[in-house]
Amino acid sequence: MSQYSKIRDVLNTLKDVDVDKVLSTIGEKIRVYPTPNYYSIHEEYLKELDQKENFCGAFTAAYIIRGLGYKTYKNEIIDQDYIAYLARVNVDLSDIEKLKILKKEIETLPSKDAEELSKRYRSIWYRFEDFPTTQKPEELGASPEGIIYAIQEVTMYRYKAIPIKTFSKTNGNLLSKEKMDILLDIMKESEKYGIQAILNLNTKYFLDSEKIPRLSEKLLLRERFKAVFRESVGHYVGYAGLIEVDGEFLIIVRETYRRYGVHLQPADYVVKALLRGDGREGGIIIIVPSEVEGELKKILMENGLKVEVWDNGSPYIPFTSQRTS
């Protein structure tokens, strides 16, 4: 594939971008560095629809893993529900109680009505009920430990997940501009190392791709626009690569909600988001083939990046029971 075709194909995956306009205006200035298996992962991303409640980390891991060729594990479809189950995602107790009532009700309904009911409550229609539950909003969601375990388990440890802590409650900022520049240089080599990545951050530093029309196109063309930022929420999103324009980096984000879609965020904003600003720790899960884990981990550590799991507020509670539904 030529560089021009590669650029065009990547731009075509972005939300609300007039590709011909962008290429005719700045085509010679653009360089793209997509993650490996970009298009197969993108296809799986589109199949997964929106994330369910508290499943952002599981959603992101699921479509990446499937795009890498791992569709089933132990006779289970690898979807956001199964990854959430393995990762021990913390869910709202009231949602589980409501789900049990709904599943009992659905047994008495005609198939069409049953299907409509499950669609109406899709956001909590979990395939499993054996999740850790909590009534504390700050504990909801997935721990990085859980997501790392699930990724390695379903790939049978052919892929390893390296955690990079970006903010520490005790030591503060672990991702300076200089370290981010180093990390971006490494990410430009994602094809060489087979890198995929998941970002655990605070969305309040993200430009709102739903409320800013044609956000990615505006960023590519350096157009001026009124910045609208999202609410403060701890969140996981998929990292899909970099686009470089005149030496400035834009990060390709695969959001877990379709209304935000695949869009661009300036690298500086992503750094702020990874530093959280909400008192919680943030980080990046880098997924690589097991044979390059040692080499890449050494490179990261030698360049001052903190290879360590972080505390995002969601406790990791290992398995104590089996599937219940």
pLDDT of residue 325: 35
The rounded mean pLDDT for the chain is 95
Helix, coil or strand: residue 316: coil
Question: CB under 8 Å to 167, separation ≥6 — which residues?
Answer: 173, 174, 175, 274, 275, 276, 280, 281, 282, 283, 310
Contacts of 83 (CB under 8 A, 6+ apart): 58, 59, 61, 62, 65, 147, 150, 151, 154
- Residue 123 CA to residue 174 CA, distance in Å, equals 35
Q: How far apart are CA 38 and CA 33, in angstroms?
A: 10
The average pLDDT across 310-319 equals 93
Distance between CA atoms of residues 74 and 77, nearest Å:
9
Residue range 187-197: average pLDDT? 97
Q: How confident is the model at residue 1 (pLDDT cuts 50, 70, 90)?
A: low
pLDDT band at 182 (very low <50, low <70, confident <90, very high): very high
Stretch 305-321: mean pLDDT, rounded? 90
- Mean pLDDT for the stretch of residues 177-190: 96
Q: CB–CB of 90/54 below 8 Å?
A: yes
Give the per-residue pLDDT at 318: 87
pTM of the model: 0.95
pLDDT attached to residue 322:
39
Does the pLDDT of residue 323 top 60, yes or no? Answer: no
pLDDT value, residue 49: 87
| CB count in 10 Å sphere of residue 178 | 10
For residue 288, which amino acid is it? V
pLDDT digits (tens, 9 = 90+) for 74-131: 999 999 999 999 999 999 999 999 999 999 999 999 999 999 999 999 999 999 988 9
* pLDDT for 129: 84
Q: What's the pLDDT at 101?
A: 94
Mean pLDDT to the nearest integer, 165-173 = 97
- Please count the other Cβ atoms lying within 10 Å of the Cβ belonging to residue 34: 21
* 222-277 tens-digit pLDDT: 999 999 999 999 999 999 999 999 999 999 999 999 999 999 999 999 999 999 99
pLDDT digits (tens, 9 = 90+) for 60-85: 999 999 999 999 999 999 999 999 99
Half-sphere exposure of 193 (CA within 13 A, CB side): 25
The count of C-alpha atoms lying within 13 angstroms of the C-alpha of 99, restricted to the half-sphere facing its C-beta, is: 22
Query: How far, in Å, are 124, 129, 312 from residue 140 at the CA level?
Result: 13, 15, 10
Is the distance from CB of 73 to CB of 65 less than 8 angstroms? Answer: no
Write down the pLDDT at residue 320.
Answer: 60
Percent of the chain predicted with pLDDT > 90: 95
Cα separations in angstroms, 73 against 70, 290, 325? 8, 18, 17
- The whole-angstrom separation of Cα 139 and Cα 141 is 7
